[in-house]
Amino acid sequence: MDFKVNMPKINLSNFDNKPIVKDSKRSLSIRDKQIVWARAHKKCEFCGKRLDFGSMQIGHKKAYSRGGKTTIKNAVCLCYEHNKMQGTDSWKTFLRKMGKSKKPKPRKPHTRKPKKKEKSLFPDWQLPR
């Protein structure tokens, strides 16, 4: 009788020397891929290139090799080229390296408009003294 227990894999080869616990699920289901593809409007989330479902690839926002989970929330829809370019970088790091950081543009400070002078009943030259 064979018993197989699914234990999470632990990787000690990271920078902090803290164990990274990996989930045993390595890829998304077809339904989950369809959800990610539809969420991305059937386009590469980096370059905007139109993708059919067969050519679409799923990338991780936080790489699987660095402890990222295989979930819809951690997935991005990418074309082949950009999935390979991302490698094991996080999504934020990849965007920064490619010059497309998603930092919000700084807003202009809100300034009050000067109050308008109230109209006088008398012109300036006829003011009572």
Q: Which CATH architecture has domain 26-102?
A: Orthogonal Bundle (1.10)
- Looking at residue 40, its pLDDT comes to 94
Residue 86 sits at the vertex; the CA angle it makes with 85 and 89, to the nearest 5 degrees, is 140
Does residue 9 surpass a pLDDT of 70? Answer: no
| Cross-strand pairs, 10 | 21
- Looking at residue 56, its pLDDT comes to 94
Residues 6+ apart with CB under 8 A from 26: 64, 70
**Span 2-13, mean pLDDT?**
58
- Looking at residue 2, its pLDDT comes to 59
Does residue 84 surpass a pLDDT of 90? Answer: yes
**Span 74-84, mean pLDDT?**
94
Buried/exposed 21-36: b ≥16 CB within 10 Å, e otherwise? ebeeeeebeeeebeeb
Query: What digits encode the pLDDT tens for the residues 100-125?
Result: 866 555 666 666 776 776 666 666 66
H-helix or E-strand containing 92? helix 91-97
> What does each C-alpha distance from 110 to 74, 92, 107 come to in angstroms?
36, 30, 9
Query: What digits encode the pLDDT tens for the residues 17-74?
Result: 565 555 567 789 999 999 999 999 999 999 999 999 999 999 999 988 888 898 999 9
- Looking at residue 119, its pLDDT comes to 67
What's the gap between Cα 35 and its chain centre?
A: 16
